[in-house]
Amino acid sequence: MKTSHLSCFFALLLPVGIAAAAERPPNILFILTDNQAASLLGAYGNPDVRTPHADRLAEEGIRFTRAFAVNGMCSPTRATLMTGLMPSQHGIHSWLDDELLDQWPESWSAVAEFRTFTDSTVSGNTLL
Q: What's the pLDDT tens digit per position in 80-115?
A: 988 999 999 999 999 888 888 888 888 878 888 888
pLDDT in tens, 14-69: 555 555 556 777 777 777 777 778 888 999 999 998 899 989 988 998 888 887 78
Gap between the Cα atoms of 46 and 39, Å rounded: 6
Q: Are 80 and 86 in contact (CB under 8 A)?
A: yes
Confidence (pLDDT) at 26: 72
Identify the residue with better confidence: 123 or 119. Answer: 119
Q: Has this prediction a pTM greater than 0.85?
A: no
CB neighbour class for 79 (10 Å; exposed up to 12, middle 13-18, buried from 19)? buried
Confidence (pLDDT) at 47: 93
Confidence (pLDDT) at 1: 47
Q: In b/e form, how buried is each residue of 60-70, taking b as 16+ CB within 10 angstroms?
A: eeeeeeeeeee
Which residue, 83, 84, 128, 71, is CA-closest to 109?
A: 83
User: Can you name the residues that pair with 64 across neighbouring β-strands?
Assistant: none
